Amino acid sequence: MTWPKQLIPRGGNGLDTGCGAGARDVFYYWRDGYDIVGVDVMEENISVARKLHPVIADRVHVADLSGPLDYAGDSLDFVLCNAAIQHIDPETVIGVTLPEMARVLEMDGILQLMFKAGSGIKAVYDRDYDTKHTFQLYQPE
């Protein structure tokens, strides 16, 4: 498997959609010389990222992937999305989220889309947040 870092020149600009608590990938890409920003719908996740990695505090922001992205069209070399779409209803993913990710990518941009495969909805208890998360499962097709 080829990862986006192998396909994008160092210094490429990108967006991690649903960067999660700690914004781990934002930190690693930034550390390796990429111009990357991370967004997450949960303010708590952004706060954790800013505490864990103060050097990227200005690179992580709250944003909701069920609406338009605050980036110009054809402006990014890459977009990462690691399991974030699973928390959004399928109609919104197809009608808004994926089209927005495509809109902000340059013509030859890279979209890394990762998700849990399957069908239906799965609920999993998250002990770190003492809550149950619901995941929409998708088929790779």
Q: What is this structure's pTM?
A: 0.86
Taking the CA atoms of 86, 91, 94 and 95 in sequence, report the sign of the dihedral they define.
negative
Q: How many domains does the chain have?
A: 1
Q: What is the tens place of the pLDDT at every residue in 89-121?
A: 889 999 999 999 999 999 999 999 887 778 888
Query: Is the residue at 47 inside a domain?
Result: yes
Please give the average per-residue pLDDT across 119-133, as a whole number: 78
Write out the two tokens for 77.
């070399």
Distance CA 133, CA 84 (A): 12
- What are the tens digits of pLDDT across the range 49-91? 999 999 999 999 999 999 999 999 999 999 999 988 888 888 9
- State the Cα angle at 48 between 12 and 39, rounded to 5°: 40
| 62 falls within a domain | yes
Does residue 141 sit within a domain? no
Domain assignment of residue 121, given as a range: 4-136
Task: Indicate whether 36 belongs to any domain.
Answer: yes
In this prediction, residue 138 carries a pLDDT of 75
What's the CATH number where 99 sits? 3.40.50.150
Question: Measured at the alpha carbon of residue 92, what is the angle toward residues 90 and 93, in degrees to the nearest 5?
Answer: 60
In a domain, 59, yes or no: yes
Q: Tell whether 41 is covered by a domain.
A: yes
pLDDT attached to residue 23? 94
CA distances from 61 to 15, 20, 42, 48 (A): 11, 11, 9, 12
